[in-house]
Chain A
Amino acid sequence: MASTQTWSEGNGTNAGTETTSRTEANWKNVDDSTTAYSSSPITAGNNSFSKYQAIKYAGTFNSLSSLTYKVSTNAPGTGLSVVAAVITAATPATPTATATGDSAASTSGTSANFVHTSTWTSVFAAGTATGGPNDATSWYGQAYRTQLQTTGSAAPGDITSVTITATWTES
């Protein structure tokens, strides 16, 4: 079995409402986990709402360590950039379309800690560099905030695919 993983997303005030096992991850002009991106498109010159995501572990493992998050590209086209940060604040900013101030998302990996909690809002915490073993309480990676930022030169239509990857070591 080893570990199994799903992705959770935080929405609403202080990103404090969790949607588990996300099956869609588009940036869009709304803060929710339900609206189709085509119904809330980002217009050129504006930003997406910031998006808070975290990897969540289940299955069996003895330990977890060396977690990183990365994106496949942080410049998916003319006038487009992806910024990101691992969130360590206990009370993160509520998702909005205002620029987050985060740096360009890493394509090689940004380190993150693990958080042992059954409460989503506790994912916004310092965490620990190692985690495990699995038990009745979930192990999460710290939350990862991303935002798609655009300039007026961004072309209309779907952008090139951008993926988010978590990497880790487990025993």
Chain B
Amino acid sequence: MSDKLPTDTSIEAEYEDGFILSETEHDDVNPFNGEGNTFTAVLQKLPEADHGRMIRFSCFWKNQMHTIDWTTLPDNARPIRFRHGYNTLYEDGTVESGFMGVDFGVQWNDEQGKNYKEISELR
């Protein structure tokens, strides 16, 4: 577990053996192969070879942890995390940037191929 407070919009994933992959702890770097960011590692299921199936997927926003129990979902379930960024440039060069919110959830297909998606729009 990281000793840093989770940053807004960051994610955390927990696996069967208790391993927790924290975006904040890794400064959003993919600790497995360096590609993309920490969320890339979750999407590509990179921790699962050593730590078993993901059992929890969480996202942090405004000091709240939002969690999906992954044990109730089919194997093809895919995590969703879209953060909505902005960057404003003033004429004197001052810049303001950050995230206005984050969409967090899951999508999966049933046996007939029908797609299901559940998203929370955190603002």
Binding site for B on A (CB under 8 A): 1-3, 5, 7, 22-27, 37, 53, 55, 59-62, 65, 132-135, 161-171
Instruction: Tell yes or no: B16 within 8 A of A by CB.
Output: no
Given A1-B37, A62-B36, A133-B37: A164 in contact with B83 (beta carbons within 8 A): no
Instruction: Tell yes or no: B113 within 8 A of A by CB.
Output: no
- Bound together, the chains give a CA A167 to CA B30 distance in angstroms of 24
Binding site for A on B (CB under 8 A): 9, 27-30, 35-40, 43, 80-93, 95, 97, 99-100
Number of A-B residue pairs having CB atoms within 8 Å of each other in the complex: 92
Chain B residue, CB-CB nearest to A134: B36
Most buried by A among B28, B80, B87: B87
Q: What's the dominant secondary structure at chain A's contact region?
A: loop
**Other-chain contact of B35, A26, A133, A166 (Cβ < 8 Å):** A133
Chain B residue, CB-CB nearest to A60: B37
A169→B83 contact, CB < 8 A: yes
6 extra interface residue pairs, beta carbon distance < 8 Å, beyond A1-B27, A163-B89: A1-B28, A62-B40, A133-B40, A134-B37, A161-B91, A171-B82
